[in-house]
Structure formats: structure tokens, C-alpha cells
Amino acid sequence: MTDTSAETTILTEDSTDQRLLNAAERLFAERGVDAVSLRAIMAAAGTNVASVHYHFGSKERLIEALLDRYLDQIEKRRFALLDVAETARTLRAIAEAIVTPLSEIAEEGSTAWLSTLGKLLISGHPALIPMSVSFQPQAARLQELILRLRPDATLPSIRFGVTHAVTLTCVVLGDIAHTNRLMSLSGTYLDDGQMNAQLIDMVTAILAGPPDES
């Protein structure tokens, strides 16, 4: 007879990990990271009171694991799009490389993850520090391509633009319904495709910097 006890344990632990991450993702998106207790996450996940500490060690490690969920996917997709942008030599192509990997996450149904990331970016939460380190290669490539098109731009202005472009994208895609509620006040509704196109337009404008008034 084959001993499946170890295999069963791995599957069970994986299931618990995912339940905790799913619950944290949903609650963080609804209330914000600092307003959600570990007890609330464990209750929403239907796990015992020691589960977060067993699987992650701390709330900080849980947040780090949650943010890591889509980072590899985003990084691979963004670098592929930046290769395209290098040939295209347009700011809009660079804007597409910023927006598209995130819009694809939204299309997969993970808007709560985007909403959580958007909230962390807006607040400058210290939980972003590990993520910011992994983002450095993407930031360097973005900076390089933008400088080729805007050689007179300063590095602080480029970094400011990229930071706010990513933040805007996460906030909008993290709650498209909220954006459409605001748009409805002027009698306007945008479907997902139109929303993405508008975001790319806005990010292109951010990357372009102020108009030349000389």
C-alpha cells in the first residue's frame, strides 16, 4: 500500500495557505490592510486561531506572500511588452507595458489584489518595501526607455510619473464599478476595453510630463 500521509499533508497545508490568502485579499480590499486583524482573516478563512502564525509567521509575512501572488506573472508580461516598446519607440507603448499586465490580472478576477496594492501605494505602506526591491529591474527598464524618448527629463520626474501611473492603474482596475459610479454622474459608462484604453491614454500623458511651453 502506498503511504499518502505526506502527500495529504502538503495538499491540506496548500489549501489552508490559499484560504488565508484569499480571505486576506478580500478583507484588505474592503477595509484596508491596517484595519484587518489576523483574527478576522482566520475567521473569514475558516481556520484555527494559530493558522496564520503556523503558515506565515506574522501579518507582515502574510501581506508579503499576498503581494507575491502575481509579481512573477506581471514581471514576465511587462518585460515582454517593454521589448515591444523598445522597437515601437513611443510613450504609448511604454504605457501599455505598465497597464496591460495589471489589466490582465483584473480580467482574471483578481481585482481585490489590485485594490489592496492600490491602497498600499496610496498610503506608502511599509509592507511595500520588499515588493519595491523586486520591482527595481522593471523600474530601471522603464526609466531607460522613457529617457530615450525624453532625454531632457530628470530621473525624479520619471520616477514620480511611473509611481503615480502604477498607482492610478491599480486604484482604477481594483474597483472599476466605483469608477463607473463616478462616471455615471456625468451620464457616462465605460466597458472594460474602454476603461483600459482610457487608462493607457492617461498613463501616456503622465509619462510625457508637462507640455513644452517654450
pLDDT of residue 57: 87
pLDDT of residue 55: 86
Instruction: Identify whether 20 is part of a domain.
Output: yes
Instruction: Identify whether 182 is part of a domain.
Output: yes
Reduce the DSSP state of residue 153 to 3 states and report it. Answer: coil
Angle at 153 between CA 165 and CA 138, to 5 degrees: 45
pLDDT digits (tens, 9 = 90+) for 71-81: 999 999 999 99
* 20 and 124 co-located in one domain: no
* 50 and 77 co-located in one domain: no
Confidence at 98, pLDDT banded by 50, 70, 90: very high
CA separation for the pair 75, 171 (Å, rounded) = 19
* 138 and 111 co-located in one domain: yes
Confidence at 14, pLDDT banded by 50, 70, 90: low
Instruction: Identify whether 45 is part of a domain.
Output: yes
Question: Which residue type occupies 77?
Answer: R
Percent of the chain with pLDDT over 70: 92
C-alpha cell read off for 152: 531632457
Instruction: Identify whether 78 is part of a domain.
Output: yes
C-alpha cell read off for 198: 482610457
Give pTM, 2 decimals: 0.86
* 135 and 98 co-located in one domain: yes
C-alpha cell read off for 118: 492600490
* 83 and 167 co-located in one domain: yes
* 136 and 31 co-located in one domain: no
CA separation for the pair 44, 75 (Å, rounded) = 30
* 43 and 110 co-located in one domain: no
In Å, how far are 101, 176, 200 from 9, measured between CA atoms? 34, 39, 45
Check if the beta carbon of residue 164 is closer than 8 Å to that of residue 206: yes
* 134 and 89 co-located in one domain: yes
Q: What is the CATH number of the domain that holds 20?
A: 1.10.10
Average pLDDT over residues 35-42: 92
* 95 and 185 co-located in one domain: yes
* 129 and 163 co-located in one domain: yes
Q: Is the pLDDT of residue 213 over 80?
A: no
Residue 45, domain extent: 12-56
Identify which of 53, 1, 46, 44 has the alpha carbon closest to the alpha carbon of residue 23.
Answer: 44
Instruction: Identify whether 4 is part of a domain.
Output: no
Q: Report the chain's C-alpha Rg in angstroms.
A: 20
Instruction: Identify whether 3 is part of a domain.
Output: no
Instruction: Identify whether 143 is part of a domain.
Output: yes
Instruction: Identify whether 1 is part of a domain.
Output: no
* 158 and 133 co-located in one domain: yes
pLDDT digits (tens, 9 = 90+) for 153-207: 999 999 999 999 999 999 999 998 888 898 888 898 888 899 999 999 999 999 9
C-alpha cell read off for 165: 501611473
Angle at 123 between CA 199 and CA 56, to 5 degrees: 105
Structural domain count of the chain: 2
* 52 and 73 co-located in one domain: no
Per-chain mean pLDDT for the chain: 89
In Å, how far are 26, 82, 83, 104, 167 from 100, measured between CA atoms? 22, 11, 14, 6, 14
Check if the beta carbon of residue 20 is closer than 8 Å to that of residue 36: no
